[in-house]
Amino acid sequence: MAVMSGRWRTFLGSYVLSIAGDRWLDTAVPALSLLLFGDLQGAALYLWSSGCARPLTSWGAGRWVSRWPAFPWLGGSNLLTGIAMAGLGLVFMSEGPVSSVVRVGVIVVGVLLGAAAGVQTVVFGATVKAVVPASWMGRAQAQLEIADSLTSFVAPLLATWMLLSWQPGLALVVAGSLYLLVAALRWRYVIVASVRSRPRPRGRRGLSWFLVPFEGRERRHVSVAVLTASLLTMLCVPVASARLEILGLSPGMSGMVIAATSLGSIPTALIAGRLIPRMDASRLILVVPLFGALILLVCLHLSSSLPLTLALAAGFDACACWVFVVTGTARTQGEEALDLVRIAAVMSVLGAAVSTLAGVMLLGVTDLSGQVAVLAGCLLCVAACGLSAHPLTSLRPSEPDLPGG
């Protein structure tokens, strides 16, 4: 894959470090909660506080960033993440019995981390747009997906080694230090607000903001596809874990195997990165892979062979990867910077709703009626994407730009 500018290489390196920090956090919090609280109470407090703060902050960040786009929002949110993550490590390193102060500390740090993640979600796409020329956007999105897959596989292994070899809370302190480095690398990257950005219509308040990602046929198609792919992805991991456990793998080994199958998305990202700049995308470019992911999810649920289960999981990840690369390219390439911010703010809130929906759909998955309900819900989402389908005109080839950054 072609090498882009030095600015992009620096940004991509900071992305790898941020993903590593996130995966260390995901690995360390449950383990440290067991060590400090004797159960998963600490992890529950953290997940509850960060999960509440993230969509609420995203909602507000869409308005703040639109008013002050020149502020280094991405670097600032990473700085807050680094400080809060290191603080959470220090909380978990505390000696003696667990007090209410420790519990409050976990909640406060969770709120800070959730708020920082909400801001980062809103500004990330617009910042990428400021760094990457339009004609290179497909390759940039593919490189981000590849970096995510590789780092998500390696970082939890390093975090586990650190938890076993060092003082446990130190893993989070190191992860926080990584994010401080990320903040330093990203501080110069700001959103470039084009004069062509459509102003927010007067009088649009409250719930009407939720209509922004669905205005226009292409926006609606991309938004429905992203939400559907997110729902299918959230359902795939527990379905695959349950199937692997039935086939004799321990929960820990199942997690490692599922992480390894995500590497199957790398060839898909490479292919997508090459094809997207050359394609005039039809209305089927997102519907077909979503339908394929749904079929693979059904087969995964019914699989009775370990090799077949792994192959189905890898195929599912490849389909999801294609959807995310194509939608990321279409949206980042076709929208103005401030429109990207507004869309990302709403999609972050809707993403939290999709996560809740996935949890509700899995509540009854152990019986036949629950399984049918889950699959029927997924089919309805794919059908909705098909009904909203529209050719992605933003993917049509444009004049090549020099990646000078």
pLDDT at residue 36 greater than cutoff 50: yes
**pLDDT tens per residue across span 222-274:** 999 999 988 888 888 777 777 777 777 766 666 667 777 777 788 888 888 77
**pLDDT confidence of residue 363:** 63
Q: At CB < 8 A and 24+ separation, what contacts does 18-21 make? A: 18/78, 18/178, 18/179, 18/182, 19/147, 19/148, 19/151, 19/152, 19/155, 20/151, 20/154, 20/155, 20/158, 20/175, 20/178, 21/81, 21/82, 21/85, 21/175, 21/176, 21/178, 21/179, 21/182
51-62: average pLDDT:
83
**What pLDDT was estimated at residue 405?**
39
Residues 174 and 215 in one domain: no
Residue 281's domain is classified under what CATH number?
1.20.1250.20
Least confident piece of the model among 11-20, 361-370, 382-391: 361-370
Residues 14 and 124 in one domain: yes
Domain assignment present for 196: no
Q: Are residues 23 and 165 in the same domain?
A: yes
My answer on whether 294 and 346 are in the same domain is yes
The answer on pLDDT for 281 being more than 60 is yes
**Residue finishing a domain among 156, 186, 216:** 186
User: Do both 153 and 275 map to the same domain?
Assistant: no
Mean pLDDT for the stretch of residues 45-56: 80
Q: Which domain holds residue 323?
A: 207-395
404 pLDDT more than 50 = no
pLDDT number for residue 181? 92
Write the pLDDT tens digit of every residue in 132-172.
Answer: 888 788 888 899 989 988 888 888 778 777 777 776 677 77
- Whether residues 140 and 76 fall in one domain: yes
Please check whether residue 199 lies inside any domain of the structure.
Answer: no
Q: What is the DSSP string of 70-85?
A: TS-HHHHHHHHHHHHH
Residues 116, 265: one domain?
no
- Which pLDDT tens digit goes with each residue over 317-342? 889 889 999 888 888 888 888 888 88
Lowest-confidence pick of 72-86, 153-167, 287-301: 153-167
Among 153, 186, 219, which residue terminates a domain?
A: 186
Residues 32 and 141 in one domain: yes
As a whole-number percent, the residues of the chain with pLDDT over 90 amount to: 5
Domain end, chosen from 186, 221, 239, is at 186
> Could you give the percent of the chain with pLDDT greater than 70?
80
Q: How many domains does the chain have?
A: 2
**pLDDT on residue 403:** 42
Stretch 282-307: mean pLDDT, rounded? 84
Look at residue 255 and tell me if it is in a domain: yes
User: Is 140 in the same domain as 239?
Assistant: no
Say yes or no to pLDDT of 195 above 60: no
CA distance linking residue 76 with residue 203, whole number of Å? 30
pLDDT above 70: residue 369: no
What's the pLDDT at 38? 64
Phi-psi category of residue 188: left, alpha or beta, with phi > 0 → left and psi -120 to 50 → alpha: alpha
Instruction: Examine the domain organization and report whether 374 and 233 are in the same domain.
Output: yes
Q: What pLDDT, in 10s, does the model give residues 336-352?
A: 888 888 898 888 888 88
163 with 217, same domain: the answer is: no
Q: 138 with 80, same domain?
A: yes
Question: Is residue 71 predicted with pLDDT exceeding 60?
Answer: yes
